[in-house]
Amino acid sequence: MQNHLRFLLSQSLIGLAVFSQIAIFAQPSSAETMTGQLGNVSAEISYDKPEEYQYKNVRLQISRAGKIVLDQKLPQESEYDRPVGGIYEKEDKLPILDLDGDKEPEVVADFFTGGAHCCTYSLIYRYDKKSQKYTQIRHDWGNGAYRFKDIDKDGIVELESQDDRFAYAFTAYAASAYPLQIWQYRQGKMVDVTRRYPKLIYSHASELWKTYTEIRQQGDDGKGFLAAYLADKYLLGQGEDGWKRVRQAYTKSDASGGLRQRNQYFADIRKFFRETGYIK
């Protein structure tokens, strides 16, 4: 798991990478497509190449056994939204896979909203056999992204990510860190199953602490990493142990800020953890 934290932290820079790629498409408008297929289900996203970074006429078409079942213009928050179906799997294709193990593949349309480091979201389409139509949910990933990973080797993939609510919460974006977050898609709903994987959480917390000690040597107070580490400890059911370590660490790093600043930081953590569900 040495590369585990590196992967999650790198997701925070995905927006910047995508933004850089957009310049390639700043040309006269022409049609582009992104396709995917699994079994008898195939899908295609089409869109006009942008003029001045604006993506227009973004459409999704899903076919079953050669018959078109869904053909619609996709919702966009703005014309800067762009499909990025290949960014997570390093392939220029539209992900189609059975997310919930019911032998029926889902279609996943991923989008990037534009900007230096925000935001990504997924539109997940599920086929309803009774109505013979596709239903859709949206899941926001924030500044980061996700990857498909069958963690427990049971044939059902999880979506491994990070809790983007920690961005800016305790420090500047560039110095923010994020606790682990693992999702499962279940019959039309996204379910947070992070606590089911204590070994991954423990490894992730260890990497956060290691990175914290490294950046402390460079003069950073590490508040973002301490908060994310403590959140991982709460996910493990080890909140008090985490607090003990964080109090000891931040006492040493608080020489210039004083006791008042330290107490405020701890109060902010407790308030934020209650609001986000880490403290029940």
Kindly report, residue by residue over 153-177, the tens digit of the pLDDT.
999 999 999 999 999 999 999 899 9
Boundary of a domain, candidates 114, 145, 176 = 145
- The reply to whether 71 and 87 lie within a common domain is yes
Q: Is residue 3 part of a domain?
A: no
- The reply to whether 183 and 219 lie within a common domain is yes
- The reply to whether 15 and 119 lie within a common domain is yes
- Which pLDDT score, from 0 to 100, does residue 11 have? 52
- The reply to whether 120 and 193 lie within a common domain is no
- Which pLDDT score, from 0 to 100, does residue 38 have? 96
Q: Is residue 5 part of a domain?
A: no
pTM: 0.83
Boundary of a domain, candidates 145, 163, 187 = 145
- The reply to whether 139 and 162 lie within a common domain is no
Q: Structural domain of residue 241, as residue ranges?
A: 147-280
- The reply to whether 119 and 215 lie within a common domain is no
- The reply to whether 191 and 67 lie within a common domain is no
Q: Is residue 166 part of a domain?
A: yes
Q: Is residue 212 part of a domain?
A: yes
- The reply to whether 41 and 159 lie within a common domain is no
State pLDDT tens for residues 25-73: 344 446 788 999 999 999 999 988 767 677 888 999 999 999 999 999 9
Domain count, the chain: 2
Q: pLDDT tens string for the chain (280 positions)?
A: 545 545 444 554 444 344 344 333 344 446 788 999 999 999 999 988 767 677 888 999 999 999 999 999 987 777 777 888 655 555 568 999 999 999 999 999 998 887 766 788 999 999 999 999 999 999 999 988 899 999 999 999 999 999 999 999 999 998 999 999 999 999 899 999 999 999 999 999 999 999 999 998 888 889 999 999 999 999 999 999 999 999 999 976 555 566 788 899 999 999 999 999 999 8
Q: Is residue 91 part of a domain?
A: yes
C-alpha pair distances (Å), 243 with each of 17, 86, 110, 180, 231? 36, 40, 37, 18, 10
Look at the block and give the residue holding tokens 């079994």.
Answer: 39
The domain that holds 135 is classified in CATH as: 2.40.128.460
- Which pLDDT score, from 0 to 100, does residue 176 have? 95
- Which pLDDT score, from 0 to 100, does residue 48 have? 86
- The reply to whether 253 and 154 lie within a common domain is yes
- Which pLDDT score, from 0 to 100, does residue 4 have? 52
Q: Is residue 2 part of a domain?
A: no
- The reply to whether 45 and 141 lie within a common domain is yes
- Which pLDDT score, from 0 to 100, does residue 71 have? 97
Q: Is residue 1 part of a domain?
A: no
Boundary of a domain, candidates 112, 145, 178 = 145
- The reply to whether 239 and 194 lie within a common domain is yes
- The reply to whether 124 and 167 lie within a common domain is no
